[in-house]
Structure 1
Amino acid sequence: GFTLTHDEPFPPGDEYQARVTLNGVPAATYTFSVVGPAVTMESRLLHATTARGATDDYEPIEPTDSFAPDEEVYLVGSADLAKGSTLEAHWYIGGEEDETGARSLTAEEDYTDAGFYFSFLPEGGWPEGEHQVRLVLDNEEVGRYTFSIVAETAAAPEGVATLTGERSVTINALYFATDFGGKAVGGVAPVQVSVRPASRPGELRVGFFEEEVAGTGSMWRAAGWTAVVVASQLLNIDPRDYEFSFSIGGRIDGPSAGAYLTAATVAALLGDSMREDVAMTGTINPDGTIGPVGGIPHKIEGAAEKGLKLVLIPAGSRFEMDQNTGQMVDLVERGSELGVQVEEVSTIYEAYELLTDGSIPRAEVTARTPQLPPRAFDRTRAKAQEWMARYEEARNRLNAVSPEILPYFDTTEADETADAADKAMQQGLAAVAYQRAFMAAAETEVLLLAAEMVERYATGGVDAALDYVQAARTSVSELDAVTRLLRTESPQSAGDYVALFNAYTSLGQAQGLVLLAETSLEQLQQQADQMAEEDILVALAEIATYYALAGDSIQAARDSVDIGFGYGGTPVTHPERIEAMQELLRRAAEANVAYFESTIVDQYARAFQIHPEQMREQFMSFDTEYLLTVAADQGVALMSEQITDPTQRAALVLGSSIANYAQSAGLVAKYYSLQAELDEEGNIVSIPRERALADMLDLADRRAKELISLNGDDIPIMAVLAYEAARVSRQGSAEDQLMALEQYWTAATLAQAQAYIAGQ
């Protein structure tokens, strides 16, 4: 070997050589370079916090330092990590390290502001008290994070005392209208809300009485029905044991008294008195949040003229437009100028304490974040993988479509959803992965069927396209097979019944979608000769959407049974409650749909000067949630005639009602309360009432936890699936947040259904 030394370091460069000669003759040349000292970054911790989870982007989900004994604790943060640096997490229980919780990660290259998380749940759960997680970076401790374990349980709310006669309360309903001169004016209309024992127990009866001809409208009646539903759920009563009535002393319509009517209904049931110098405006959501409304400046003026001292308005509504001046006004200042105190409220619980001399009994929220049992987790993950396989198969088939047609079917959104599903799978978020994988597969299968139909149309005309879809559709035969399967199921526990409800939810939607597809197909067959090509292509896409979504809904029904059956031992001790809840939620869903159609759809119809039925059809192609609601109504109506077993029929109607209740409430929140701003394709781009949405999400999360925990050790699997999906969805876009709201409401309703039929 040969070596060379130099007094000074070799300058960095690529032009160095070592030449070897043998007996004076050049034998070999070796080229080498000199590299200067590496510039290394400094590893450092930027921030970290304990939380109940982590998003795909390593953001904390529900940051907190208080957890339940069986809850996995997350430490989420970010750091600058140089290549080769190691970050470790060490978990200390009561001052002693649990070495089974030690976790570490090593940087394979330089990372700036890199997100990370560590999580741990000791075998057997956490003991109560304070514990720590410590971060160590390259053998040096860089942070200690203390958290507490608190064991809380939920207690059922107090019951309602038995009525021996009628109870009535009177409220000051606010309204605003336009006078003959075009000026916006406000006023107060007295409303009497009465509750009495049912004259015919077992029947749900709600009456509306007017002192003026046409004194109320459909929106007012929908608000009254919703008030009865929400009040019954808040107090955990069977509304068929009572009769409810709303008597109005003037003319009024609209949904803006929904929260006030709910509070009055609760007061009548509990025997509390309503304050005479107070009024309130705001819609009511399924979980008791109060939604924004319009015309508040003029309603405050009407309250002042009546001599009222306090007006409650929805949170986030302090600044509203004066319809007469077109200027934004501070409602608190406007009220002060008129001698009226104006106060914002977020929930019916807050409002009730200001409106009455009492409070609404409320379950104590548990600190525990609901989690799937291991077996349900494994089943859900397996189902997510099945949906990913369906997505990949459809994606591959779509790539085989004619190159002239393929560019018209953009899969970008479906591909991004599939990628997000894969990330959720890697993080162990089974419920989230299932939801995303389903969405990716469903959208891709719609595109595939539409593309294949258009391909046949391009080569063989309408008849070829319709022949293909009739040969390719499997929805009808699969629907019959799964319907027969569900009829053979024998639920053993309350959890089994809820899984059956959820399965029938999907099956009712599938039946309705098949009906819509067949109607559209028949219309196209009859009218194709008179239709422009553009209209034919739209009709083909519509048929493809209905058939493809029907097939996906049928598989979702199978999934509900496969995932949700076989948990818990609590029997259904009150089977009659299935019928009671079915009727309650059916009426609630019908009220919400009527509310949405009369508030939103009919207004669009008037604006575009078309018949309301035409606008409803357009909304079905514009909004998937409305499409599924309409489809479920039609599907359940047909299937109810075919199912003779009363328990199975009740399960069908209840399952559909649970979904429609959440979906229709989401429609009202989206288009009316939150005034979501949409792009030309109907996608949500922003939600102006951000505070209202934040309040609604917070309460929805708490309410879902309350109702899930009421089931004790019999974890409501289907409710937890919806809850886990909601927790992650709420961290996303405006569209995702509205989806989370609907998922929270679904979780709460499913959990309440399980507790209710189990007699809890």
Structure 2
Amino acid sequence: MMAPESLWRPGETYTVPPGGHKCSTHPSQRRGKMKAYTRYLPVLFIILFIWPSLALALATKEVAVDALWFASRGKEVMGGTSQVIVEVEPNPRQGIRVGFFEEVAGGSGPSWRAAGWMASVLSSQLLGVDLTHYKISFDVGGRIDGPSAGGLMTAALTAAFLGDQVKPEVSMTGIINPDGTIGPVGGIPQKLEGAAKRGKKLILIPYGQRFSMDQRLKKLVDVVERGKSLGVEVREVSDISQAYQLLTGKPLPQARPANDQPPEIPGAVQAKIRNRTQVLFSKYRELISKVKMAGQLPPELGQIVTQAESAYSLAQDAAAQGLFTVAYDRMFTAVLMAQAALVATDIIQTAQSGGGQALQNYFDSLKAVRGKLDAFLNRLDMETPRTLSDVAALSEAYGLTIQAWGSILLGEIREGEMEKLLKQAQEKAEKRRGSAPRGTTQTRRPQLGIQVSDSPYGVMVNQVAPGSPAERAGLLAGDIILQYNGIPVMDTATLLQLVSATQPGEFINLLVSRGGMQLFLTAMLESGPPPPPPPQTPASEQEWERIGQKLYEAAFFYKMADLLHTLAEDRLLIGLGFSGTPAPAVEVIDKAARLFQTTAEAGMNYLDSIVLQNQAEEAGLTLSAYRWAFMSKDPSYALAYATYLALGAGISASPYARLGASMALYYGTASLITKYYSLGAEIGKGGRVQKVRFEKALINMLERAFRNARDGINLAREAGIEPIFSAFFYEAAKFLREQDLEGKLSALAYLWYATAEARMLAFLGGGLRLERPLPVQQPAPQPGQPSSPPPGGSEAPKSQKSL
């Protein structure tokens, strides 16, 4: 808007900043110039107001697909389709934005949203895309939930990035796995009926599902023949690459390595792994010997020991063949199982010999792992990765440490529940007994604090309770008690009678044999707790059983935290110090960490909704209560849930910590979803998988997973990175593939992790180059925002160590 002429002073001039010029401000001259300027106002309006929206519209890519579904209403089973619009547009705000839009409130469930996040992660890895540069949306019509459209969503999102379109006459069903393979789903015959009504001519299904269960007929049918009767062609596909070609008519551009060399672990790393394996061998022998000294074990503990011995045997075979990565992996399982058995025997013996105070001392000793973890986290915080190989080692060590903290959190939860139940049980017991007569006191038993058994030479000490009179006197496990106050001790019954006849606070003299020598030891007996009242009713027995279960689980989680801490230390020892591509800026790591954490947490909710919730309802339990039962059934779920808890608690703010823990959680939940939902694993005695519904699909997924992992490792190496742990998991998977179904499923999980870690390192190192560029352009940062550092960093480390 022009100023009034009265404000202008004729003939006055003013000076503009340097580089400008003097101009007259005479009204007649100004009016002439303003008329000339006004002819440019339409152009200026277009530049300022229309062009940004037009440019954004041109850069936005949209792909429409029809997701297939089936549903049941009473006895009626039907299939149908729901249109999904997948949209990608530039995101100048530089943050991860994945949105889900619905036409009705609650139209998309948690499984659907988790599948969208997984599709986003996989498309990012396939194409080498930094998702912080884009806004992604999934717009669905009607109501839909479940993971079976995961493959279709991934293909549609990838097409949007590439500027391709999905053919309107084609659709697919199948979950998406972390390495791009397509997993089995249910309801295919009914989905074909819905697709035919929508006018589809080609439907893609997961490999190995030609014969699928008809939910209406309750029997297997040939879906290829069923499709022909409906005028629909049905094809099996193994992975996203095959599906993309058929859905769009165009090949999926991929980053392929120049060679197909089998992954090898450097000799220096092999030597370190061999040394750490020997440490685990020694640890296992120590643990299992203590377990066997406890004598006859209950059947449940016997099964755990059998699993430990099986893993130990496999580790010995692998070590004999020079496969130390495999031996190391199996020894972790062997040590974990042996520790689980020993925890049970420790608790029983400590409670019998030392009572409540001894148990408290035992738990206090287990909690010492907290201090070790605090110190190790401080050490990790001081590490500065110089190369991308260092980034992998540091993230792995952080991830295991976060898992260890999560295990402690689980132990604390169980311990708190145990104490609450114990208090309630004691109050009920007092009410059942009634008040004791006035002037009477309960007799308190004398206690020495040992667990013993008969031996040919006398009474052998199997265990000494921490903080007990026996420990203070110097008694050790393995000692043979020969005399008690000068009286020969022939068997455990004699020793028990002598201890019972001694008053608390009295000193006793013991003659013991140790290593061929005889020693005199002096101890003062303590007053133990009064014997618990015998259960009065079946309900009381159940209460004590529940208390014992929680007590065991709390102790086990503390022990598992200690073992995870050991593995975290090994990761640093094995993986740090390799030369190669420089580490990127920490902001780059933070972006990857945020993406994986969001996706991993969605995956955990996804697992709960499609696997645990259904099983909990069948068992008549709440999800929270059933979760603990599921942890007992599958330790890998316990590890995943521990990681989930620790991430939510914010144990560490380091991006490396969040990246390592989030990747472990993401691939842990993905493998559990595949195991229980997609493949339909059935658990037999001993807690191992005895059957899967789609074994053909499992074998196919394994074959594809080996190829994908090998490609990822070679891409990383061509980018100047040594993916130590990806090669480690690849080597272990080769051995596990030849084992039982449990081993094959473990191999699949290892391969997925190996692929993801290797491809992420290759991307950060600039090693992912597609055959054709992305048409959706990455926007420049807004003013005041830092630009993203280039993958691979910009400054070489000053000193590097080659191994």
Q: TM-score, normalised on structure 1?
A: 0.75
How many angstroms apart in 2 are the aligned matches of 1:404 and 1:270?
A: 61
Partner of residue 696 from structure 2, selected from 685, 691, 711? 691
User: What pairs up with 1:139-150 in 2 under 5 angstroms?
Assistant: none
Change (3 A) 1:381 1:602: same
One-letter amino acid matched to 1:337 = S
- Residue aligning to 1:375: 268
- Residue aligning to 1:153: none
Identity %: 39
Give 3-state SS (helix, strand or coil) of 2:716's partner: coil
Partner of residue 557 from structure 1, selected from 559, 568, 575? 568
1:744 is aligned to 2:751: yes
- Residue aligning to 1:305: 197
- Residue aligning to 2:396: 502
1:489 is aligned to 2:383: yes
One-letter amino acid matched to 2:175 = T
How far 1:619 moved relative to its partner? Answer: 1.7
1:667 is aligned to 2:672: yes
How many angstroms apart in 2 are the aligned matches of 1:516 and 1:204?
A: 31
Tell me if the contact between 2:682 and 2:692 (Cα under 8 Å) persists in the aligned partners: yes
How far 1:408 moved relative to its partner? Answer: 4.4
1:218 is aligned to 2:117: no
How far 1:212 moved relative to its partner? Answer: 2.2
Partner of residue 133 from structure 2, selected from 231, 234, 241? 241
How far 1:692 moved relative to its partner? Answer: 0.9
How far 1:164 moved relative to its partner? Answer: 5.3
- Residue aligning to 2:488: none
Give 3-state SS (helix, strand or coil) of 1:710's partner: helix
Give 3-state SS (helix, strand or coil) of 2:59's partner: coil
Partner of residue 146 from structure 2, selected from 226, 234, 254? 254
How far 1:399 moved relative to its partner? Answer: 3.0
Of the structure 1 ranges 588-597 and 458-467, higher mean CA displacement relative to structure 2 is found in: 458-467
User: What pairs up with 1:67-106 in 2 under 5 angstroms?
Assistant: none
User: What pairs up with 1:293-692 in 2 under 5 angstroms?
Assistant: 293-364=185-256, 366-401=259-294, 408-410=301-303, 411-531=305-425, 532-640=543-651, 643=653, 649-679=654-684, 681-692=686-697
One-letter amino acid matched to 1:725 = A
How many angstroms apart in 1 are the aligned matches of 2:673 and 2:250?
A: 30
One-letter amino acid matched to 2:739 = G
After superposition, the CA RMSD in angstroms is 1.9
Aligned length: 591
**Cα deviation 1:711-732 (Å, max 9, x = unaligned):** 2253211111111111111111
Q: Which has the higher contact order (CA 8 A, sep 6+)?
A: 2
Structure number with the higher strand fraction is: 1
Change (3 A) 1:633 1:277: same
Give 3-state SS (helix, strand or coil) of 2:263's partner: coil
Change (3 A) 1:336 1:244: same
How far 1:395 moved relative to its partner? Answer: 1.8
How far 1:463 moved relative to its partner? Answer: 4.4
Tell me if the contact between 2:366 and 2:559 (Cα under 8 Å) persists in the aligned partners: no
Give 3-state SS (helix, strand or coil) of 2:672's partner: helix
Give 3-state SS (helix, strand or coil) of 2:106's partner: coil
How far 1:404 moved relative to its partner? Answer: 7.3
User: What pairs up with 1:151-162 in 2 under 5 angstroms?
Assistant: none
Change (3 A) 1:418 1:408: closer
One-letter amino acid matched to 2:736 = S
How many angstroms apart in 2 are the aligned matches of 1:327 and 1:738?
A: 27
Tell me if the contact between 1:453 and 1:466 (Cα under 8 Å) persists in the aligned partners: no
Tell me if the contact between 2:385 and 2:583 (Cα under 8 Å) persists in the aligned partners: no
Tell me if the contact between 2:102 and 2:141 (Cα under 8 Å) persists in the aligned partners: yes
One-letter amino acid matched to 1:718 = F
Tell me if the contact between 1:405 and 1:455 (Cα under 8 Å) persists in the aligned partners: no
Tell me if the contact between 1:718 and 1:747 (Cα under 8 Å) persists in the aligned partners: yes
**Cα deviation 1:446-497 (Å, max 9, x = unaligned):** 2212211111123344443232122244311211121122122222111011
Give 3-state SS (helix, strand or coil) of 1:711's partner: helix
How many angstroms apart in 2 are the aligned matches of 1:232 and 1:309?
A: 30
How many angstroms apart in 2 are the aligned matches of 1:209 and 1:418?
A: 51
How far 1:568 moved relative to its partner? Answer: 2.5
Tell me if the contact between 1:524 and 1:539 (Cα under 8 Å) persists in the aligned partners: yes
Partner of residue 188 from structure 1, selected from 52, 76, 81? 81
Tell me if the contact between 2:256 and 2:715 (Cα under 8 Å) persists in the aligned partners: no
How many angstroms apart in 2 are the aligned matches of 1:638 and 1:327?
A: 47
One-letter amino acid matched to 2:406 = G
How many angstroms apart in 2 are the aligned matches of 1:487 and 1:493?
A: 16
Give 3-state SS (helix, strand or coil) of 1:245's partner: strand
One-letter amino acid matched to 2:62 = S
Change (3 A) 1:317 1:405: closer
- Residue aligning to 2:21: none
Change (3 A) 1:472 1:218: closer
How many angstroms apart in 1 are the aligned matches of 2:752 and 2:570?
A: 21
Structure number with the higher helix fraction is: 2
How many angstroms apart in 2 are the aligned matches of 1:722 and 1:280?
A: 32
Structure 1 gaps of 5+ residues are: 1-161, 644-648
**Cα deviation 1:44-75 (Å, max 9, x = unaligned):** xxxxxxxxxxxxxxxxxxxxxxxxxxxxxxxx
1:172 is aligned to 2:66: yes
Give 3-state SS (helix, strand or coil) of 2:580's partner: coil
How many angstroms apart in 2 are the aligned matches of 1:681 and 1:442?
A: 15
Give 3-state SS (helix, strand or coil) of 1:371's partner: coil
Change (3 A) 1:405 1:281: closer
1:198 is aligned to 2:203: no
- Residue aligning to 1:756: 763
One-letter amino acid matched to 1:169 = V
One-letter amino acid matched to 2:195 = A
1:266 is aligned to 2:149: no
How many angstroms apart in 2 are the aligned matches of 1:680 and 1:184?
A: 35
Structure 2 gaps of 5+ residues are: 1-55, 426-542, 768-803
One-letter amino acid matched to 2:281 = M
Tell me if the contact between 2:69 and 2:80 (Cα under 8 Å) persists in the aligned partners: yes
Change (3 A) 1:462 1:738: farther
